[in-house]
Chains A and B, each alone.
Chain A
Amino acid sequence: MKALSGIEIRAVAATVPTQVARTQDYEFLTMEERQRFQKVTGIAARRIVRDGQCASDLCMTAAETALAHVGWARESVGALIMITQTGDQPVPATSIVIQNKLGLPQTCVAFDVNLGCSSYPYGLAIVGSMMQSLGIMRALLLIGDVSSRVCAKNDKSAWPLFGDAGTATALELDERASPMYFDLMSDGAGKDAIIIPGGGLASRRPPNDGPVQQEMGADGTYRRPDNLILRGADIFSFAISKVPHSIKRAMDASGKTGDAVDYLVLHQANKMINDTIAKKLGFPLDKVPTSIEQYGNTSSASIPLTLCTNSDFFRDTRSIATSGFGVGLSWGSAVFNLPANSVTTCVESDATY
């Protein structure tokens, strides 16, 4: 892929809800299983929205943080793209509703993108290349999910993994910006590895009349058809075999070796996956910041949330390699520079808009 030039990241902001769900309190695992789960996944706690708070709300708060950080006039924002798989409603796109709520001008391009864990590299590529080709000076990339609202609480393979979070990244055209390098991949053959089978129109699980019932899945777990199903072992296998090569391709395109990259920021899927990827690429773990311990797998939001959770690391300009991987299957890597003081500290908020 060609490098993307002239796009600078001005701010990265993240928001999590205040409600904490601790692995040690998860009643569907025994005490022994809770300890083992925490050791293998690295997840000690997650943040879960209270009734009514949406991904759009978390992203709105993050967008306000980012806008305050950069001091932009709202009239100057030319694009707002939201990437989520837990939008406010099927129609219209959540980003368009946010354009109005944030007080952005009608000249603002707004649309949603349906991606999960690969959202950050994809989002930077989508927004950055659109800004560059259409001459849009300033844009907001909102990425977030409220996975707790689509997982069954009794689903031991999904519920204790996922946390809720929303993020905002402010991007600006700037000829002096260092190029961004991407590697973006897809494999729809793995569609069943993470899937919400019901609620869509493809008729695999058409909506029925009457109340929604829980049904027992092949793994013996009861879920509603509109609950998320995760086949963790298949995601694990995919991640450790495909992702290191993707990061390597993006690094090769940038001409950077591991020594020249300050931090490797990975999607926070689970500790064993990320330790394996880091080891394969030769990155020491002190160059691989995390957020999974306190926030769990925050799906699309995990990479910018990890930046904000470790904002102290990014006071100076840093060279970053990043990779998101999961639902689709979709995976992507990006190598770019984060300007000094562009990463804000993660904000806790239960605000709804």
Chain B
Amino acid sequence: MSIEIFIKNFAFAIEVQPETLNAETEYKALDIWDSLNTLSVIAMADADFNVALSGQDVESSRTISNLWTIVEAKIVHA
């Protein structure tokens, strides 16, 4: 699994074009970001990476890269 796939799936989850995001995107600053997107990202991590993210994981991370670090750690320890 790579961060590129994570970014693509992240974009799909929040319904934006993948090319509008990158590892350093501060997702909570996106115009379209709202609390329902948190649910979409948690669902994506569960479905695509078999990782249980908490609301806190999504809400306290800043960039997509920060969140990927958490997901990647949980994959390793799964």
How many CB-defined contacts (below 8 Å) exist between A and B? Answer: 49
Pick from B36, B46, B56, B59: contact of A241, CB below 8 A. Answer: B46
B53 CB, nearest partner CB in chain A, Å = 6
Assess whether B4 is interfacial by the CB under 8 Å rule.
no
Pick from A36, A232, A237: contact of B53, CB below 8 A. Answer: A237
Tell me whether A236 and B39 are in contact in the complex, defined as CB-CB below 8 angstroms, given that A241-B46, A241-B52, A276-B47 are known contacts.
yes
B10 CB, nearest partner CB in chain A, Å = 15
Is B43 a contact of A240 with CB atoms below 8 Å? yes
A266 to B73: give the CA distance in the assembly, Å. Answer: 31
Is A233 a contact of B34 with CB atoms below 8 Å? no
Assess whether A231 is interfacial by the CB under 8 Å rule.
yes
A234 to B53: give the CA distance in the assembly, Å. Answer: 9
Is A237 a contact of B36 with CB atoms below 8 Å? no
B56 CB, nearest partner CB in chain A, Å = 7
**Size bracket, chain B contacts:** 10 to 19
Please give me the residue from chain B that is nearest to A29 by CB atom.
Answer: B34
Mostly helix, strand, loop or mixed at chain A's interface?
helix
B36 contact set on A, CB distance < 8 A: 36-37, 40
A19 CB, nearest partner CB in chain B, Å = 26
The number of residues on chain A lying at the interface, defined by a beta carbon within 8 Å of a beta carbon of chain B, is 17
Pick from A233, A240, A276, A279: contact of B35, CB below 8 A. Answer: A233
Q: Please encode chain B, from 18 to 45, with 1 for each CB lying within 8 Å of some chain A CB and 0 for all others.
A: 0000000000000000111011101100
A241 to B51: give the CA distance in the assembly, Å. Answer: 9
B52 contact set on A, CB distance < 8 A: 237, 240-241
Is B35 a contact of A237 with CB atoms below 8 Å? no
Is A234 a contact of B35 with CB atoms below 8 Å? no
Assess whether A272 is interfacial by the CB under 8 Å rule.
yes
B58 contact set on A, CB distance < 8 A: 233
A241 contact set on B, CB distance < 8 A: 46, 52
Q: Please encode chain A, from 221 to 235, with 1 for each CB lying within 8 Å of some chain B CB and 0 for all others.
A: 000000000011110
Assess whether B69 is interfacial by the CB under 8 Å rule.
no
Tell me whether A276 and B46 are in contact in the complex, defined as CB-CB below 8 angstroms, given that A233-B38, A237-B53, A237-B54 are known contacts.
yes
B53 contact set on A, CB distance < 8 A: 237
A231 contact set on B, CB distance < 8 A: 55
A320 CB, nearest partner CB in chain B, Å = 25
A208 to B13: give the CA distance in the assembly, Å. Answer: 45
Pick from A234, A270, A276: contact of B55, CB below 8 A. Answer: A234
B59 contact set on A, CB distance < 8 A: 233
A40 to B13: give the CA distance in the assembly, Å. Answer: 12
Tell me whether A232 and B34 are in contact in the complex, defined as CB-CB below 8 angstroms, given that A237-B54, A240-B46 are known contacts.
no
B34 contact set on A, CB distance < 8 A: 33, 36
Is B42 a contact of A240 with CB atoms below 8 Å? yes
Pick from B40, B47, B55: contact of A237, CB below 8 A. Answer: B55
Assess whether A157 is interfacial by the CB under 8 Å rule.
yes
Q: List 15 A-B contacts (CB under 8 A).
A: A33-B34, A36-B34, A36-B36, A37-B36, A157-B35, A233-B35, A233-B38, A233-B39, A233-B59, A236-B43, A236-B55, A237-B55, A270-B39, A272-B40, A276-B47
The 10 A-B pairs at the shortest CB distance, nearest first, are namely: A233-B55, A241-B52, A234-B55, A233-B38, A40-B36, A236-B39, A237-B42, A237-B54, A240-B46, A236-B42
Q: Which residues of A contact B (CB under 8 A)?
A: 33, 36-37, 40, 157, 231-234, 236-237, 240-241, 270, 272, 276, 279
